[in-house]
Structure 1
Amino acid sequence: MTSSGTGRPGTSRDRGLFDGIAALHRDLAHGEDELHLESSLIRLLNDLLARHAAAPGAASPALRPRALRQVREMLHSQLNSNIKLDDLAAVAGCSKRHLIRSFQQAYGVPPHHYRTLLRLARAKSMLAAGRSVAETAAELGYCDQSQLNRHFRREFGMSAGGYARTVR
């Protein structure tokens, strides 16, 4: 996580939370009394929980089917793009964690695996049509053919080239 574009790892985008932690740190360094420190810590923890955590055991309701369809359509339409989970969550209008859970409930796999399965189905048809493994990998957005082969082996137990030889 980075703070408003600085790119520094380990910093928060929540300026209020950052300011609260900094104030607590200053109070500790200046030797404030325990009541003050404890109250500041409790206030800080309450802010943290209110802003960034769900209540223990509280399950968020599943996403509306329309939101899930929009995510699925984005995955289908941008098969060769480097889609970010943030982008999918924005389309669904929810947190990344909630999106993953709801998508898996609806489609049986999380969004990243669904996309991999879409890419592999497309790769199979491209390879069967005579396209090379390298060309297929590049067109589907894989960084190289070894990445395509890893996914292919994991799902089908053979390399993309091996599959191409069996269907031609």
Structure 2
Amino acid sequence: MTVIEPHEVVSCLEQDKAAADDQAIVQLMFLDADLMPVGTGRPRFHGVTYSDRGLFDGIAALHRDLAHGEDELDLESSLIRLLDVLLTRHADALGAASPTLRPRSLRQVREMLHSQLNSNIKLDDLAAVAGCSKRHLIRSFRQAYGVPPHHYRTLLRLARAKSMLAAGRSVAETAAELGYCDQSQLNRHFRREFGVSAGGYARSVR
């Protein structure tokens, strides 16, 4: 995994002559400066190339989710989580963390997630309700409720989906009503959380 800081030149990777006939696939991710921590100065990285299998796998999974058209809240939350891991493991110290949000702000965010379960809520929308940065919101929400906002909403959706499927609704109807782009997206979330597809769950409870 290679990290290029802002204003540095991105050059093509040189292939080994012995591997000249092989194909190399390079996936790039450009990060907006607004996603970086606020008030601590620009982080500096210790090197250029890092052997970090866990982080590599997380970034690869994010690329796959982008290709599958996953929900924007899930994608941006995953990106910020991976960026936090990158900064924590491989950048200079970022200074003291911001204090957690007040309970009232977090309740307002949670109420928004409950009331707009089938909407394509963005992390910007939730941060605006909380009155803080996206990174601060994710950290504070996780501390208060055990999971970040996007995972909390996924659990809410899946709980509703289980009720709908048990009541005889089809997987396609359930996915559409809960704001998933198609039933394959609902199935992916079901397998990730419960180890079974939505259709498999429906058959087991009817």
TM-score for both structures, normalised by structure 1: 0.68
Q: Distance between the aligned counterparts of 1:80 and 1:35, measured in 2?
A: 12
Q: Per the alignment, do residues 63 and 134 of structure 1 end up closer, same or farther by CA in structure 2, a change over 3 Å counting?
A: same
Count of residue pairs the alignment pairs up: 163
Relative contact order, higher structure (CA 8 A, sep 6+):
2
Query: Equivalent pairs: percent with the same residue?
Result: 92
How much does 1:121 deviate? 0.3
CA pair 26-144 structure 1, distance change in 2 beyond 3 A? closer
1:159 paired residue among 197, 202, 205: 197
Runs of at least 5 residues in structure 1 that lack an aligned partner in the other structure:
none
Aligned CA distance change for structure 1 residues 59 and 128 (closer, same or farther; 3 Å): same
- Describe how 1:91-110 pairs up with structure 2 within 5 A: 91-110=129-148
- Aligned-pair Cα RMSD in Å: 15.3
Question: Which protein shows a greater Rg?
Answer: 1
Q: Distance in 1 between matches of 2:180 and 2:122?
A: 15
Poorly superposed stretches of 4+, deviation over 4 Å:
5-9, 11-55
Q: Is the 8 A contact 1:76 1:118 kept in 2?
A: yes
Match of 2:166 among 128, 131, 141: 128
SS where residue 61 of structure 1 aligns?
coil
**Change in CA separation of 1:13 and 1:87 when aligned onto 2, cut-off 3 Å:** farther
After TM superposition, the score normalised by the length of structure 2 is 0.55
State the partner residue of 1:57. 95
Give CA deviations for 1:21-46 in whole Å, capped at 9, x if unaligned: 99999999999999999999999999
**1:88-131 CA distance string (max 9 Å, x none):** 00000000000000001111111101100000000000000000
Work out the CA distance in 2 between the residues paired with 1:127 and 1:31.
Answer: 23
